[in-house]
Amino acid sequence: MPVSPLTDLSRLCVHTITTKPWALDDAVRNYAAAGVKGITVWRQALEGRNVADSGKLIRDHGLSIVSLCRGGFFPALAPADRAKAIDENRRCIDEAAALGAPMIVLVVGAVPGQSLVESRKQITDGIAAVLPHAQAAGVKLAIEPLHPMYANDRSAVNTMGQARAMCNQLKSPFVGIAADVYHLWWDDNLEAEIKASGREGTLFAFHICDWRTPTVDFLNDRGLMGEGCIPIRQIRGWVEEAGFKGFNEVEIFSNRLWSQDQSQFLENIKSAYLNHS
Amino acid sequence: MPVSPLTDLSRLCVHTITTKPWALDDAVRNYAAAGVKGITVWRQALEGRNVADSGKLIRDHGLSIVSLCRGGFFPALAPADRAKAIDENRRCIDEAAALGAPMIVLVVGAVPGQSLVESRKQITDGIAAVLPHAQAAGVKLAIEPLHPMYANDRSAVNTMGQARAMCNQLKSPFVGIAADVYHLWWDDNLEAEIKASGREGTLFAFHICDWRTPTVDFLNDRGLMGEGCIPIRQIRGWVEEAGFKGFNEVEIFSNRLWSQDQSQFLENIKSAYLNHS
């Protein structure tokens, strides 16, 4: 069944990293003026700022804070380093609470050369360790599976299926999944996994951008919606059928797009959002 | 159970692309002198040469021809282009027969922006169309699943599971799978899929190299065994438990390694083969 186009910006969220050249104040002012309704704040945008004041600034401009991005990076060879990662994630939870963000996106991490099975165990243990702190703070944790090309160094969780298995093990209303089309579009289990996640109540977030061909950089060559091959609208349809009613979050890392005039880029995001997602 | 190291070169095969700077004559002479036992010939190494004579040259040097690399690239938007691809694959089969190669590796293809489901259908149809020709020539076809980072432009078959599904649909002793650790190492179903493929009689080939971190080029930055994170020996163990008795084929695309002295590189391949695979 064809999925209806989006007709307004009421569920459009932009990640601060998407317009990286802008400091937080500029991002907030420009997003609000452009009619964007949600913002996901990257931690580096908060560096050197008062976090609670930043949250107030955002709310005063009428924007909803969708997530703080990002916690995670739990696995490490040395137990002391895993303990440090857990401490850092507790600080991230405190930061989310101070900001007024209801959720943290977790890029869960991996250790080059360590088996993915062992890394996934360390990730599960790490999330379990910070979970009481998250629950006490009222902050949800969204595991973001990353594309298999990041399996060795950024995330040992590479499919929605693996993220669901982790959620099922942790069994908490505070642990769920951030589904990003960039990482998951190729997976032929995606529709089934999204729907299962919806049934299980773990579909916490939905991130959009596009996959360009050729992609020339492993990290910073994502495309604006419509510039690539991802059936974004179809996947949004699955997400909505699964009961998701949250924001559609535009998260793009792109040296090419960061080098453009960011006000024009934000206008392009709005049209791409309406036309291609 | 720990897998025993390889103790000799009796199952070492090298792909001509691995030592791309060498013309076929040089590759054949140097491989044979170094004690390599098998060769997989890339079609570009045959350009401008008599194919039957090339096969004789290889056999005269005591090398086994493992495969001709590569056929495939079946999907296309226009039916006429799909027909052309089928013709080209028939020519590739003729070339394999003339060379004396018992098998062709298929990089099956994808069409940027076309759904992966549709591309997989076109691939299955394409293989079915050339299968009688392959069978008459006595040439097997090995579907090589490629890493999901190639899903949009090189291969709509990205897991061993998808390749098995295709084999089960085509049901022929002439259609099987080339399992390459580079493309598949991250998949947590890999052990089960390899063993299922072994049971089904479709495990036709095993390719090795390594995944470097960071990887700086989408195509040409593979590592020599031991330079990366892939548990090659463990995967070889699964392949052998699955009943595979063929060659371990070293297939490396690397601008870095192609720029080295290729005789020294071949010696490094031999030690890496014994120490890390």
- pLDDT tens digits along A78-129: 999 999 999 999 999 999 999 999 999 999 999 999 999 999 999 999 999 9
Which pLDDT score is estimated for B175? 98
Residue B257 sits in a domain whose CATH number is 3.20.20.150
Average pLDDT over residues B23-47: 98
A158, A108 in Cβ contact below 8 A? no
* Percent with pLDDT over 70 in chain A: 100
Check whether B187 has a pLDDT greater than 90.
Answer: yes
Which pLDDT score is estimated for B6? 97
The answer, for B215 touching chain A at a CB cutoff of 8 Å, is: yes
Q: List the single residue in A with minimal CA-CA distance to B113.
A: A229
Check whether B1 has a pLDDT greater than 80.
Answer: no
Which pLDDT score is estimated for A54? 98
The answer, for A117 touching chain B at a CB cutoff of 8 Å, is: yes
Q: State the CB neighbour count (10 A cutoff) for residue B125.
A: 13
Average pLDDT over residues B251-264: 98
* Percent with pLDDT over 70 in chain B: 100
State the pairing for strand pair A175-180/A140-143: parallel
B76 to chain A, minimum CA–CA distance in Å? 15
Angle of helix A51-60 relative to helix A24-34, nearest 10 degrees, comes to: 20
Could you tell me if residue B144 is inside a domain? yes
The answer, for B117 touching chain A at a CB cutoff of 8 Å, is: yes
Check whether A230 has a pLDDT greater than 90.
Answer: yes
* Percent with pLDDT over 90 in chain A: 99
A74 to chain B, minimum CA–CA distance in Å? 18
Q: List the single residue in B with minimal CA-CA distance to A230.
A: B113
Could you tell me if residue A1 is inside a domain? no
CB contact (8 A) between residue A148 and residue B152: no
Residue of A14, A17, A18, A44 lying closest to A31 (CA atoms) = A14
Which pLDDT score is estimated for B15? 98
A224, A210 in Cβ contact below 8 A? yes
Could you tell me if residue B1 is inside a domain? no
CB contact (8 A) between residue A228 and residue B152: yes
Question: 3-state DSSP call for residue A198?
Answer: helix
| Residues of B whose CB is below 8 A from A229 | 112-113, 152
- B143-164 confidence digits (pLDDT tens): 999 999 999 999 999 999 999 9
The answer, for B226 touching chain A at a CB cutoff of 8 Å, is: no
Overall number of domains in chain B: 1
Of A113, A158, A215, which has the smallest distance from its Cβ to B186's Cβ?
A158
DSSP 8-state assignment for residue B109: B
Query: What are the backbone dihedrals phi and psi of residue B100, each rounded to the nearest 5 degrees, phi first?
Result: 90, 25
Q: List the single residue in B with minimal CA-CA distance to A149.
A: B149
Token pair for residue A151?
């399996």
B241 to chain A, minimum CA–CA distance in Å? 20
Q: State the CB neighbour count (10 A cutoff) for residue A56.
A: 13
Angle of helix A190-200 relative to helix A160-170, nearest 10 degrees, comes to: 20
| Residues of B whose CB is below 8 A from A153 | 213-214
Give how far Cα B221 sits from Cα of B44, B104, B129, B180, Å: 20, 24, 34, 15
Question: 3-state DSSP call for residue A49?
Answer: coil
Residues whose CB is less than 8 angstroms from the CB of residue A197 and which lie 6 or more positions away in sequence, other chains included:
A160, A163, A164, A167, A176, A177, A179, A203, A242
| Residues of A whose CB is below 8 A from B216 | 218
Q: Report whether the peptide linkage leading into residue A21 is cis, meaning its omega lies within 30 degrees of zero.
A: no
Check whether A1 has a pLDDT greater than 90.
Answer: no
Q: How many angstroms separate the CA atoms of B125 and B197, rounded? A: 21
Which pLDDT score is estimated for A2? 85
Residues whose CB is less than 8 angstroms from the CB of residue B126 and which lie 6 or more positions away in sequence, other chains included:
B74, B75, B82, B85, B86, B89, B108
> Could you tell me the pLDDT band of residue B111, with boundaries at 50, 70 and 90?
very high
Which pLDDT score is estimated for B242? 98
| Residues of B whose CB is below 8 A from A157 | none
Question: 3-state DSSP call for residue A166?
Answer: helix
Of B113, B147, B187, which has the smallest distance from its Cβ to A229's Cβ?
B113
B100 to chain A, minimum CA–CA distance in Å? 36
| Residues of B whose CB is below 8 A from A155 | none
Average pLDDT over residues A234-246: 98
As a dihedral over the C-alpha atoms of residue B262, residue B267, residue B270, residue B272, rounded to 10 degrees, the angle is -90
For B226-264, letters b (16+ CB in 10 Å) and e give ebbbbbbbbbbbbbbebebebbbbbbbbbebbbeeebee
Q: How many angstroms separate the CA atoms of A175 and B142, rounded? A: 42
> Could you tell me the pLDDT band of residue B2, with boundaries at 50, 70 and 90?
confident
Which pLDDT score is estimated for A17? 98
Which amino acid, residue B58? I
Could you tell me if residue B6 is inside a domain? no
Could you tell me if residue A2 is inside a domain? no
Could you tell me if residue B145 is inside a domain? yes
What's CA A73's distance to the chain center, in Å?
A: 14
Could you tell me if residue A157 is inside a domain? yes
Average pLDDT over residues B210-231: 97
Q: How many angstroms separate the CA atoms of A31 and A12, rounded? A: 10
How many CA atoms within 13 Å lie on the side-chain side of A266?
Answer: 26
The answer, for B277 touching chain A at a CB cutoff of 8 Å, is: no
ipTM score assigned to the predicted complex? 0.96
CB contact (8 A) between residue B231 and residue A115: yes
DSSP labels for B214-259?
S---SSSB-B-TTSSS--HHHHHHHHHHTT--S-EEE---BHHHHT
B41 to chain A, minimum CA–CA distance in Å? 27
Residue A253: give the domain boundaries.
12-276
Q: List the single residue in A with minimal CA-CA distance to B229.
A: A113
Query: What are the backbone dihedrals phi and psi of residue A267, each rounded to the nearest 5 degrees, phi first?
Result: -65, -40
Residues whose CB is less than 8 angstroms from the CB of residue B262 and which lie 6 or more positions away in sequence, other chains included:
B19, B21, B22, B30
> Could you tell me the pLDDT band of residue B174, with boundaries at 50, 70 and 90?
very high
* Percent with pLDDT over 90 in chain B: 99
Q: How many angstroms separate the CA atoms of B65 and B263, rounded? A: 21
Check whether A167 has a pLDDT greater than 80.
Answer: yes
> Could you tell me the pLDDT band of residue A254, with boundaries at 50, 70 and 90?
very high
